[in-house]
Amino acid sequence: MARKKIALIGAGQIGGTLAHLVGLKELGDVVLFDIAEGVPQGKGLDIAESAPVDGFDAAYKGTQDYADLAGADVVIVTAGVPRKPGMSRDDLLGINLKVMRAVGEGIKAHCPNAFVICITNPLDAMVWALQKFSGLPANKIVGMAGVLDSARFRHFLAEEFGVSVEDVTAFVLGGHGDDMCPLVRYSTVAGIPLPDLVAMGWTTQEKLDAMVERTRKGGGEIVNLLKTGSAYYAPAASAIAMAESYLKDKRRVLPCAAHLTGQYGVSDMFVGVPIVIGANGVEKIVEVSFTQEEKAMFEKSVASVKSLVEACKGIEPALA
């Protein structure tokens, strides 16, 4: 069986990490595309030279030509600019929207059958715009955010409880902004919901509230530490989990920004919800029930996404 082809648009911090992970996990051959001449070529060659040591077979090609994306099975988009300290994700909108137009047109012309995962911020608005620019069917394009936000919450919870991260599940829905929705009722340690663990005395409500808040601000915490950019290891690992579910038809249930057409009362927007990712892309959108409080939290987050989508329409009349 021929190897799969994974195209990475953007060969910066996340793109480079993705390229390395694709090799280490033997998911397929890699094409790295970036406007910065030499960067995708250099990173591709460097990783290819690590392959004999780690023992994986994958071809790497760096390019400035969209035609090299032809036939890609999966495309992961990180092209654009990341945050610097003091910036919100929303500050990136104007610059990254222009990038999404170029990327969308490239995908439309050269790999319209790919499964596309967008990571560029502000995530929910950029994946929405990328779908419009690329014309991809809604089941073939998703945004990566919920897997990362849930992983951050899982890490904090595992540290607090002194248990393996493997036994902690977490559920973070809504838009990828400071009002994202970590849902404690649907987050568990070995199946035991977090509110039960508070009742059992494993932790306190105050500590749980602090972990929820730290999750919401998790991206900013890394930006403030790094000072020159934003997180890349965990974002790359999260997108790879999504790509792997598609390529191997694993049908994993993952929180992702998916195109909603009435689910959760939302129409024609991408918002983080649990979905099943299999060989057909988005195979199912899972609708969970909310308490009044959870519903209000989710609606607030959706309202933030909506204002960013409206801002995109204002900048790019073609999107209106």
Find out whether 275 is annotated in a ligand binding site.
no
State the catalytic residue, choosing from 20, 110, 155, 176. 176
Nearest residue (beta carbon) to ligand A3D:
12
Catalytic residue list contains 110: no
- 172-173 and 181-182: which strand pairing? antiparallel
Rounded least distance, CB 266 to ligand A3D, Å: 19
Find out whether 120 is annotated in a ligand binding site.
yes
Find out whether 113 is annotated in a ligand binding site.
no
Q: CB-wise, 92 or 297, nearer to ligand A3D?
A: 92
Structure token digits, residue 60: 């790497």
Alpha helices, DSSP H, located in the chain: 13-24, 39-54, 93-110, 123-134, 146-161, 194-199, 205-216, 218-226, 233-247, 292-315
Rounded least distance, CB 39 to ligand A3D, Å: 6
Backbone angles phi, psi at 300, to 5 degrees: -65, -40
From CA 93, how far away is CA 111, in angstroms rounded? Answer: 25
Number of residues that make up the chain: 320
CA distance between the termini of the chain = 43
- Please state whether the peptide bond connecting residue 122 to the residue before it is cis, i.e. omega within 30 degrees of 0: yes
**Strand order from edge to edge, sheet including 5-9:** 60-63, 29-33, 5-9, 74-77, 115-118, 141-143, 252-261, 267-278, 281-285
Rounded least distance, CB 184 to ligand A3D, Å: 21
Identify any residues that bridge with 141 across adjacent strands, giving them in sequence order.
116
Residue 140's alpha-carbon distances to 21, 40, 116, 212, in angstroms, are: 22, 25, 6, 31
Q: CB-wise, 102 or 163, nearer to ligand A3D?
A: 102
Q: What's 139's DSSP letter?
A: G
Q: CB-wise, 35 or 288, nearer to ligand A3D?
A: 35
Judged by the rule CB under 6 A, the positions of this chain that interact with ligand A3D are: 9-15, 34-36, 39, 78-83, 92, 96, 99, 102, 119-121, 123, 144-145, 148, 176, 229-232, 235
Q: CB-wise, 131 or 197, nearer to ligand A3D?
A: 131
Structure token digits, residue 74: 């999966």
Find out whether 101 is annotated in a ligand binding site.
no
Q: CB-wise, 205 or 224, nearer to ligand A3D?
A: 224
Rounded least distance, CB 55 to ligand A3D, Å: 27
Find out whether 152 is annotated in a ligand binding site.
yes
Identify any residues that bridge with 31 across adjacent strands, giving them in sequence order.
7, 61
CB of 171 within 8 A of CB of 255? Answer: yes
Q: What's the CA angle centered on 120, arms 251 and 309, to 5 degrees? A: 95
Find out whether 263 is annotated in a ligand binding site.
no
Find out whether 11 is annotated in a ligand binding site.
yes
Q: CB-wise, 30 or 189, nearer to ligand A3D?
A: 30
Find out whether 13 is annotated in a ligand binding site.
yes
Rounded least distance, CB 146 to ligand A3D, Å: 9
Rounded least distance, CB 18 to ligand A3D, Å: 9
Contacts of 16 (CB under 8 A, 6+ apart): 32, 43, 47
Annotated binding residues for substrate, written as ranges, equal 83, 89, 121, 152
Annotated binding residues, written as ranges, equal 10-15, 34, 83, 89, 96, 119-121, 152
Annotated binding residues for NAD(+), written as ranges, equal 10-15, 34, 96, 119-121
Annotated catalytic sites, by residue?
A: 176
